[in-house]
Structure formats: C-alpha cells, structure tokens
C-alpha cells in the first residue's frame, strides 16, 4: 500500500513541505488547553459519599481512623464552607438512641437509591457537619427523593439534638 507522498511528483511534494513550513511560521500553534473540572453546585438534598471521622460526628469501627459514609445535605452555612448533613446508616444504632428516637430514622430502599448495598436508614436525629473539602473530595451519588427530603428536613427540625443555633447556622429554619 502506497502513501500519497509516493504518488506525487518530487517537485510537488517539496512545494507542499515548504508551504507547510512557511505556514507554521506565520500561524501560531494552538496549545491544548487543560479542561477544568466542572464543579457542580452543592445543594440541599444532594448525597455524597465522603471519608468521615470524629470531626464529622462519625465513630469509625475499631482499628480504623476514618469510615466512608453517605451524607445527605440538609443545609448550607452562609459562606458555603460547611454543610449540615444527615447520614445513611445500615441499621438503627440502638446503643446511642433513647426510646422514642426510632421515629428519627427514615427507612431507605436500595431500590430507590441504587448506590447503597442494602436497605438502610436515613438518620435525622443529629446533623453531622461536612466541610466543603469533605464534599469536594467525596463522590456525588445522587439526590434524595422530594418526599424523603421533605420528611428528613421535618425530622431534623423537630429533633431536640439539633439546637436552633445549629439549624440557623445551616439555614434550615
């Protein structure tokens, strides 16, 4: 199989090569621009899988310093630096809750939220803080359904473990 340059007369090929060199001198070469990552806005109802620890109100299992958890944003501070979130839990952690607090756990279906491995709960008892860096370093997983978001916000506001100051800090009231 022959190439186009094999089929052209030598003087034509030389003229094309010369013209190409002249054009390269005149027309500046375009540099490939690096694409900037598009940062999607953080909104109430968005769900992120983040690496959490005690600073986020999460106690990792023994022998671990951090633990990956799904955080659903319930509110955002005015400056956007920190979010008040509720977390997905595999089960109700009964050793940390008093009788009557079961009402603050919303059953969550794996069929509705395909990124979770099994049916779980959304714990609305106490808001957990997540910084902007936690969120940006995490993985966006989706959004709460409108019904789940509405119920989660109602329960979050109703819980006596979330002070009025905390709720105002995250613009939930």
If one counts every other C-beta atom within 10 angstroms of the C-beta of residue 68, the result is: 13
- pTM confidence score: 0.76
| Residue 52 host element (H or E) | strand 46-52
CA 124 from centre of chain: 19
Q: What is the pLDDT of residues 11-34, one digit of tens each?
A: 776 777 777 777 677 766 666 666
In three-state secondary structure terms, 10 is helix
User: CATH class for domain 46-169?
Assistant: mainly beta
Domain ranges for the chain: 46-169
Residues 88, 56: Cα–Cα separation, whole Å: 13
Q: Are 115 and 105 in contact (CB under 8 A)?
A: no
Residues 6+ apart with CB under 8 A from 142: 46, 47, 113, 115
Q: What is the pLDDT of residues 100-139, one digit of tens each?
A: 788 999 999 999 999 999 999 999 999 999 999 999 999 9
């Amino acid at each position: 199989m022959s190439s186009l340059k094999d089929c052209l007369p030598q003087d034509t090929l030389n003229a094309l090569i010369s013209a190409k060199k002249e054009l390269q001198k005149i027309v500046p070469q375009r540099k490939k621009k690096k694409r900037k990552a598009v940062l999607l806005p953080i909104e109430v109802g968005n769900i992120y899988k983040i690496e959490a620890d005690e600073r986020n109100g999460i106690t990792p299992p023994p022998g671990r310093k951090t633990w990956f958890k799904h955080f659903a944003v319930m509110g955002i501070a005015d400056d956007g630096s920190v979010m008040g979130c509720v977390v997905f839990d595999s089960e109700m952690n009964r050793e940390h809750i008093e009788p009557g607090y079961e009402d603050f756990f919303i059953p969550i279906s794996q069929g509705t939220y395909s990124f979770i491995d099994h049916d779980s709960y959304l714990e609305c008892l106490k808001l957990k803080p997540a910084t902007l860096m936690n969120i940006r370093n995490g993985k966006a997983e989706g959004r709460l359904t409108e019904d789940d978001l509405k119920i989660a916000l109602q329960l979050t506001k109703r819980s006596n473990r979330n002070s009025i100051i905390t709720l105002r800090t995250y613009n939930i009231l």
